[in-house]
Amino acid sequence: MADPVESQRADFFRHIERHGQRPALIDGNGITMYAQLAERADLFARQLPRQRSLIFLQTANSVACITAYLACLRAGHAVHLMGQPASDTDKARLAALEQAYQPQAVLRPYGDAMAVASPVTGAVTGPSLHPDLRVLLSTSGSTGSPKLVKLSETNLAANAASIRAYLELGPADRAMTSLKLHYSYGMSVLHSHLAAGGSLVLTDEPVTAAAFWHLFEQAGATSFAGVPYTFELLAGNDRWARMPGLRQVTQAGGRLAPDMVRKVSRLGMDNGWRFFVMYGQTEAAPRIAWLPPELAHDHPDCIGRAVPGGTLSIMDEAGMPVEIPEVDGQLVYSGPNVMMGYAASAADLASDCTPAHLLTGDIARRTAQGLFRITGRSARMVKPFGLRINLDEVQELARSRMPGAICAGTDDGIVVAVAADALSAQPEAAGAGEWLARAIGLPPQWVQVAVLPEIPQLANGKPDYRAVLKCRRSTQPPAHALAPLRVSRAMRLAAGMDTLRSPAFYRRTLLEAGGILGLVRPEWGDVRGIFAQMTGRPAPSGQDSFQSLAGDSLSFVQTSLALEDYLGQLPDDWDSLPIDQLEALRGGDALV
């Protein structure tokens, strides 16, 4: 008879074949059943080192990537899930990370498949690994810090089981993969659905694209996961909320404004699906708390209660528990999903430093109803796009180019204030903003550099971050991110007539012709615009690449030349790189 503890531990990867001919993964090519997935994973595992090893896995939302991930887990390896390096800076970081951790293999997407590559260090023996270590995740994925969160099989399985329980997931549930796998939130969606015998629909389309919802409907999806930015993008059009088959929507990755929580919750109630506001940290693999959908409307500013199996509490500055409601203190979590500690080098991979409880760094209070509400942060952290970014680290980075700069931010963007005399010229500020955004993995418009006569200070001499935040210019998401769901045929027709009547169209034609012939410098807006123009796809997502957009030999010459013109220089594998990564290459050499 199977050991029930063991079967729970291994629930989401070791015994997935027990789900047999149920669908596990669905993509544009069809359905992969659980039995098939297990078989493919075991086949892939034969390409991996025989002895238990550390493996770096560069993720993509593809069957091949998930197969490779499961192969690593089933074969007993420890995996570091990471994004794909695009720029030379990223590659240098990866090399440094490999140097620090000595992985024995690096798995990276090659076309639509996964390639097994040797690490640059050529490591053969690899580091010593703690027997429980399974997954390593970056705490932020943003500043290239080699600090990684160590997660055990118990951490991952316990959290998957908790999520499965409170979301009441079962074999009929089918989630859209709207998040990247190397984000802990994206990873947890995968784990919890595999644990429940449910399925995932794989796509890189953004939630704002009509194609995303078309696939949602076609594939029979029942849920999707979003970070706050997702709901901002969806705010202008509620058609998605009426999608047949939608059973639940989850939100995590940062604080969603209470008004928005109410609005989405109301949409859910009106259309028969449930909206789960959740809270977590990578250090908890990652889910910590959830707000029951029926409470979302009345308590939209709360993170809810601890996930099943875990405990939340408030701790005062002296480290004593706070039992009284409505009193602020640090939010503390304990449960079987709390990490094995951090790693900063290969030597740390052999140890288990599981803390007694997890200090979240967030200031919170318990309400009279027993729910928890975040009221501030003890550490200076922000979460744009669900990416956790430490403002102190960003500040440190900014100071390498702009001495004395201070950094403030919210989940909507980051502002770096620098004294005018610290920069030699104003244009340098814009360039520095782009450089900084690239370094921390954000779109350029999310990081602004404000050049001020002097750095604002409080009366006590400390930096005045509020004053810095006030320097932020308003930014708005690019139109192509919002457009796809809203355009009627009549609008298109009217816009077409407007275009033909517009002198700007003919002036632009002349300009474009001049640009093609090299007589004037073409004005490319961004990589996304180039891809849209050259491949004919109106709204490619940041994760799309030339290959994923079905680019071919007829369109690649124009695309590559336009990119070369825009970026200055193209890496050899540009055709397989996502748009966001290509965008990050912009202007890199010019600033060095």
Partner 1 sequence: MPLFKKALAGRVMQTDIALRGVAIVLVVLNHASITDSRPIHLGGGLNILLLLSGYSFARFILVRETMAQVRRGIASFAFNLWLPCLAVVLASFALKREWSWGEVLFVSNFYTADHIALMYVWFPQVILQMLAIFWLLSFVPGARQGLARHPLPLALGGLAISFALLLVLRGDDRGADFANRTIEAVGWNFVLGCVAWYITHGPSRQGMAARLALLGCTAVLGLVAFGWGADWLRAVLLPLALALLLFVPRLRLPAIVAQIVQVLSQATFTVFLAHVLFLRIFDAAGLRGASSGFNLADTLFAAAFALTGSVAVWVLASALRRAWQATHADALRRQMQRGIA
What burial class does residue 351 get, using C-beta atoms within 10 Å of its C-beta: 0-12 exposed, 13-18 middle, 19+ buried?
A: middle
Please report which residue ranges of 446-584 form alpha helices under DSSP H: 465-469, 479-482, 489-501, 503-516, 527-535, 556-567, 579-584
Interacting stretch for partner 1, rule CB under 8 A, among 419-427, 438-446, 448-456, 483-491?
Answer: 483-491
99 is a site residue for partner 1 (CB under 8 A): no
Report CA-CA distances (Å) from 196 to 64, 168, 258.
21, 9, 31
Q: 214 or 466: whose CB is closer to partner 1? A: 214
Q: Which of 347, 520, 550, 590 binds partner 1 (CB under 8 A)?
A: 550
User: How many residues at the interface with partner 1, by CB under 8 A?
Assistant: 56
Q: How far is the CB of 248 from partner 1 (least distance, A)?
A: 29
- Whole-Å CA distances, 532 to 193, 260, 434: 33, 31, 22
Stretch that binds partner 1, among 27-35, 148-156, 420-428, 464-472 (CB under 8 A): 27-35
Please tell me whether residue 518 binds partner 1 under the rule CB under 8 A. Answer: yes
Determine if 520 is a binding residue for partner 1 (CB under 8 A): no
Binding region for partner 1 (CB under 8 A) out of 22-30, 88-96, 170-178, 298-306: 22-30
Q: Work out how close the CB of 173 gets to partner 1 at its nearest, in angstroms, rounded to a whole number.
A: 25
Is residue 505 a contact point for partner 1 (CB under 8 A)?
yes
How far apart, in whole angstroms, are the C-alpha atoms of residue 53 and residue 55?
Answer: 6
Q: Going by C-beta distance under 8 Å and a sequence separation of 6 or more, which residues neighbour residue 181?
A: 59, 60, 61, 65, 66, 69, 81, 187, 190
Closest CA to 261 of 225, 296, 302, 224: 296
Q: Find tokens 């390409």 and name the residue.
A: 47
Give yes or no for residue 474 binding partner 1 (CB under 8 A).
Answer: no
Question: Which residue, 121 or 547, has its beta carbon nearer to partner 1?
Answer: 547
Angle of CA points 199, 201, 207, to nearest 5°: 135
Rg (CA), the chain: 24
Of 379, 495, 520, 591, which lies in the binding site for partner 1, with binding defined by CB under 8 A? Answer: 495
Scan residues 57-76 and list those touching partner 1 (CB under 8 A): 62-64
Candidates 193-201, 332-340, 434-442, 569-577: pick the segment binding partner 1 (CB under 8 A).
569-577
Residues 398/401/406/408 CA torsion (nearest 10 deg): -30
The only residue of 344, 353, 487, 591 in contact with partner 1, by rule CB under 8 A = 487
Distance of CA 19 to the CA centre of its chain: 29
158, 340 contact by CB (below 8 A):
no
Q: Is there a contact between 314 and 329 (Cβ–Cβ < 8 Å)? A: yes
Of 421-450, binders to partner 1 (CB under 8 A) are: none
**Interface map 111-130 toward partner 1 (x if CB under 8 A):** xxx-x-x-------------
Contact residues: partner 1, CB under 8 A: 28-30, 62-64, 110-113, 115, 117, 236, 479-480, 483, 486-488, 491-492, 494-496, 498-499, 502, 504-506, 508-513, 516-518, 532-533, 546-547, 550-554, 556-558, 560-561, 570, 572, 575
